[in-house]
Amino acid sequence: MGEVYGILHAMRKLRESLGQHRIVGGALVLAVTQFGASLMGLLRDRLLAQTFPALEVVDVYIASFRPSDLLFQLSISAGFVALVPLLARYRAEGDTKEMSRLLSSVIVLSAFSFGALALILALLFPWIAPLLTQFQGSSLVLYTDFGRLALLTNLPFVFGAAFGQYLTTIQRYWVFGLTPILYTLGTILGTVFLTPIVGPYGPILGTVGGTVVYALLRFLAVSREGFHPTWMLWHPDLSQFGWMMVPRIIALGALQLELLLFDTLASGLGSGAVTINAYARNFQSVVIGVIGIALAQSAFSPLSQAAAKGDRGRFWLTLQKGVLVLIALTIPAAIALIALAPLAAWLVNLNRVLPLFSVSLALYAVSIPFESLNHLLLRSFYALKDTVVPAIVGVLNGTIAIALSWSLTPRFGVWALALGFTVGQVIQMLGLVWALPRKVRRI
């Protein structure tokens, strides 16, 4: 009986440690769902390359989301990262009513502000589009139409992203992780079933449907977990929320400007260059999502609660555990990705440009350990309610990446983009590592 009891006790402890409310368990949930989302993303990329083999439509589809993403990151994501530390304080106090009030206020203001900006930009986009890309003729027309749809598509993301911060705070990760899979599924279904009817507009119309499902399911999830929406335009925490948001706008603006200029440079390198760069980055993002973002996202709420309680020891323990796991996993993963470049090219139907794709993928793979650590370090600063230092190093990252890519593109072509990105990530990690101990000592 003693042995049986011991086995049952060990199994219970293992189950508790792997629960989604624990760091390791939450990271596993996010890793599994992120891997599923990555597989769906690869399937989407392969279908797009097969459906439009000339790659011109795929180039346009990828590039058309950059302006909308820039607006979304600056006006929405810049502030939403500050929600978790603010919500975590009420979570630590068990005050779900105040959590609902704060989230409702943020959603109302964000939806109105983003909706107004997106509508204005959509109306002006025919005049703005030629300034953002080097596409010509029918490709420019498609870019303009896709860009307008992408702007309107991101409105449901405002709600979905806000609900995602609530789910992160209460450490409920299954719906958080599964909804991106369904979002990508919308693009796949649009490519398969709508393209024969509406031509190149099929994928982006499918994306619109996927976005609506994404937001609706997250709303149902947070409602089940105690969120009760209220009509509020102001909450006392919004002033602190605003101050935290401003530096974050600068940091995300630098990143999105970097990606936008990468597409601008690639669009002048011939058909397929945008796709090669984006697909190589997508494969790198698979590893980042499954390992780096999953662990960082899982650690975010415990880091925030430790900071809120002034528990410096718990804060460092959580961070150190995350760093060790990331180093142990990301270095072998980067090496494996480089070795699997031919398989990766086959998966997304880019065998015909394998030499270009393989080098781009290898350069992006080198950045995997550094970017993964950056995700964890950034959330450590956000848990401390500091968005200023991340903004400074983020701008430094973007500036170096853009300058290096711009200067090296005439010589190295599309490879210069991956090289610039990787160097920028290394610089950002060094800056965050240098600054974090000084910040933690103030807890």
The Cα 274–Cα 281 span in angstroms is: 11
Contact assessment for residue 288 and residue 368, using Cβ atoms and an 8 Å cutoff: yes
Residue 441 lies in a domain: no
Residue 239 forms part of a structural domain: yes
Q: 351-378 burial string, b = 16+ CB within 10 Å, else e?
A: eebeebbbbbbbbbbbbbbbbbbbbbbb
Q: Is residue 57 part of a domain?
A: yes
For residue 8, the model assigns a pLDDT of 35
Within-domain flag for 10: no
Which pLDDT tens digit goes with each residue over 7-51? 334 434 434 444 444 556 667 887 788 888 888 988 898 898 889
pLDDT in tens, 295-310: 898 888 788 888 888 8
pLDDT for the residue numbered 2? 47
Lowest mean pLDDT: which of 10-14, 215-219, 415-419? 10-14
Specify if 237 maps to a domain.
yes
User: How many Cβ atoms sit within 10 Å of the Cβ of residue 249?
Assistant: 17
Structural domain containing residue 246? 19-436
- Cα distances from 7 to residues 11, 22, 197, 250, 295, in angstroms, run 6, 21, 59, 53, 28
Residue 18 has a pLDDT of: 44
Split into its structural domains, the chain has a count of: 1
Residues 259, 402 contacting (CB under 8 angstroms):
no
Is 9 within a domain?
Answer: no
Q: Against a cut of 0.85, is the pTM above it?
A: no
Residue 2 inside a domain? The answer is no
In a domain, 407, yes or no: yes
